[in-house]
Chains A and B, each alone.
Chain A
Amino acid sequence: SQTIHQWPATLVQPVGSPLSLECTVEGTSNPNLYWYRQAAGRGLQLLFYSVGIGQISSEVPQNLSASRPQDRQFILSSKKLLLSDSGFYLCAWSDGLGYTFGSGTRLTVV
């Protein structure tokens, strides 16, 4: 069966520090991978999606970047965090039949 792992679960980082969130998927090949951000009390904003290794599409201009070094690995990064980067980050994968979300990372930038 397919599973999705996302870590860490919570993170507190100072402004200006770097960020790396990782997401891995098991039990499937060539999935579409996504990063969403959910600000407090708000909806899910699509940040990046990837249809294959090295292929990244960005939906909104921002302080973040994404990479897909392996088929089932998706990484969200930042060189310098801003206060506005705080939020709940969700990784998801899709095989065209449905979405499965990771358990999320709650990032607080202080």
Chain B
Amino acid sequence: GENVEQHPSTLSVQEGDSAVIKCTYSDSASNYFPWYKQELGKRPQLIIDIRSNVGEKKDQRIAVTLNKTAKHFSLHITETQPEDSAVYFCAASISGANNLFFGTGTRLTVIP
């Protein structure tokens, strides 16, 4: 199946700064790339997603970019707030929002 790599594994930023998390994928046929946020002990929640026919998508303070040639995509969070602290997972799929393969997660800590 698809192999998704994610880095960094941990990230600490000062409140108000930006955070960037990067993922690479192995299968060039992948066409759907969601990002999930998981707070401690809770279920992952979708925060943003992008499909392969789009290079960038933005939703308020969150944006995702996709480089199909290089097979990597990134999550950008601007003006970080303490409530952004969580584990973030990227994922990829070759069949739309089915059979997602996840990265290993990034623990983001926003320091007030």
Residues of A near any B CB (own CB < 8 A): 32, 34, 36, 42-46, 49, 59, 90, 94-99, 101-104, 106
Contacts and interface: CB of A to CB of B under 8 A. Distances in A.
B43 A43 contact: no
Contacts of A36: 102
B44 A90 contact: yes
A98 B46 contact: yes
Interface in B67-83: none
A102 B102 contact: no
13 contacts: A42-B105, A43-B89, A44-B89, A44-B91, A46-B1, A46-B101, A49-B99, A59-B1, A98-B97, A99-B46, A101-B43, A101-B45, A104-B41
A32 B98 CA distance: 7
A78 to B, nearest CB: 22
Given A98-B46, A103-B42, A42 B104 contact: yes
B43 A44 contact: no
A90 B97 contact: no
Contact of B43 (A59, A98, A103): A103
Top 3 A-B residue pairs of the complex, sorted by shortest distance between their CB atoms: A43-B104, A44-B102, A101-B43
Contacts of A96: 95-98
Given A44-B91, A99-B100, 11 more contacts: A32-B98, A34-B100, A42-B104, A43-B103, A43-B104, A46-B99, A94-B98, A96-B97, A98-B97, A99-B34, A104-B42
A26 B104 CA distance: 30
B30 interface: no
A85 B40 CA distance: 20
B6 interface: yes
Contact of A43 (B6, B34, B42): B6
A57 B74 CA distance: 30
Contacts of B1: 46, 59
A94 B89 CA distance: 17
